[in-house]
Amino acid sequence: MSSSTTVPTGRANLMLALATLGFAVNFWAWALLSPLAARFQTALDLTSIQQALLVAVPVVVGSLGRIPVGALADRFGGRIMFPLVSLVTILPVLYLGLFGQDALASLLIGGFFLGIGGTVFAVGVPFVNAWFPPHRRGFAVGVFGAGMGGTAISALTTVRLVDAGSTATPFLLTAGALLAYAIVAWLVMRDAPGRPVPTAPLAQRLAATMRLKITWQASALYAVAFGGYVAFSVYLPAYLKTAYGLTQADAANRMAGFVLLAVIMRPVGGWLSDRIAPARVLAVALVVVIAGAVLQSFTPGLAPLGTIAFLAMAAALGAGSGATFALVAQGAPANQVGSVTGVVGAAGGLGGFIPPLVMGSIYGQFGSYALGLALLAVVALAALLLDVISVGGGSRFPRPTH
């Protein structure tokens, strides 16, 4: 146990708040293209696959980038990595806002580097984990995870800012927020006293991480839980517009509601995991996802069944994401939390990369989303079996003493 257990609660909570804010601001930037995807589709005459690719590219880059960034966070700490990631993300944000919206190629290039913002998740988990004692880490990491609500900020503001100003307005505003946060983080953030700092080379640490059972178990579960959240948060506006004929603004608002509920439930999932085994929280969440996906595969009326299905899945995916990282906090060695987080976070992001492409492809071929949602139910069922059989209700990882 690190000396972070003796740190005054107020200081630990301040660090948690700063980390959560940084997560939200960077995720706001990471999600800037999704609300404008329908507009780009019309302006550039994109196919459904091209539109799906446009919103998926930042996801996959932000996901894979978490692997090295998580290992770097273990070595250099959040005090350096939070401002660094934020400053680097400013560059693609400005490029997209000022130069990159005239062609699909330039949007994809900008989106590729925009993915850097998504790597900040792998910085925050080890940073927060080091500040809190074991019996509070599930809730603390869950609160940090609520920073994924930055995607809701993007959903609620991006289209409105474009309509009120220009296509550059949301990008310029986000760049300013990133710069302001980087300055505050550099001046105020501090790494936890006694934080374990690995000394082994990066490649050796990553290889050791890959040999941990918790890495692979949590990766598979997070690919479904957080991957499902990411997939819906980037593709739901297009889905609602196509399947139900909603306006772009109405679809974006409903997506924001989905995101907000998932964000609220993430710390709830972590809090519950501090009290009962994380795998049990995950099991309940996955059962809800299966039921919601099966119901929505029939494309019921949006009021009330469709809305109930999506909100239930949002709550379950949020709680499941929080529970997964409670599992990581309990099962990963203290000096490898960042590396494990990087791999698990990558799996979660990749889990969000594939479904939009599959949904776009299925709709383009069959004119229906039913098969895609049925596949989600099957994948969630497989994750449930892994959770119950392999993780074993949390018995493989000791619960912290209170």
> pLDDT tens per residue, the chain (402 residues)?
344 445 557 899 999 999 999 999 999 999 899 888 888 888 888 887 788 788 878 888 888 899 899 889 988 999 999 999 999 999 999 999 998 888 999 999 999 999 999 999 889 988 998 898 877 888 888 899 888 888 878 878 898 899 998 989 999 999 999 999 999 999 999 999 888 888 788 888 888 888 898 899 999 999 999 888 878 877 788 888 888 888 877 887 888 788 889 889 989 998 898 888 898 999 999 999 999 999 998 989 988 999 999 999 999 999 999 999 888 877 888 778 888 888 998 888 788 777 877 887 888 788 888 888 899 899 999 999 998 887 754 444 444 443
Q: What is the rounded CA–CA span in Å between residue 159 and residue 170?
A: 8
- Is residue 381 in a domain? yes
- Is residue 324 in a domain? yes
Do the Cβ atoms of 290 and 384 come closer than 8 Å? yes
Number of domains observed in the structure of the chain: 1
- Is residue 108 in a domain? yes
- Supply 35's token pair: 């609300």
Say what the pTM is: 0.78
Q: What is the rounded CA–CA span in Å between residue 226 and residue 319?
A: 10
CA 308 to chain centre: 22
What domain range includes position 15? 3-391
- Is residue 401 in a domain? no
The pLDDT assigned to 2 comes to 42
CATH of the domain at 95: 1.20.1250.20
- Is residue 397 in a domain? no
Side chain identity, residue 130? A
Q: C-alpha angle with apex 338: 335 to 344, nearest 5 degrees?
A: 125
Return the residue matching tokens 């099991």: 283
Do the Cβ atoms of 197 and 75 come closer than 8 Å? yes
Give the residue from 32, 52, 27 showing the smallest Cα distance to 116. 27
Do the Cβ atoms of 397 and 327 come closer than 8 Å? yes
Q: What is the rounded CA–CA span in Å between residue 114 and residue 98?
A: 14
- Is residue 400 in a domain? no
- Is residue 194 in a domain? yes
- Is residue 399 in a domain? no
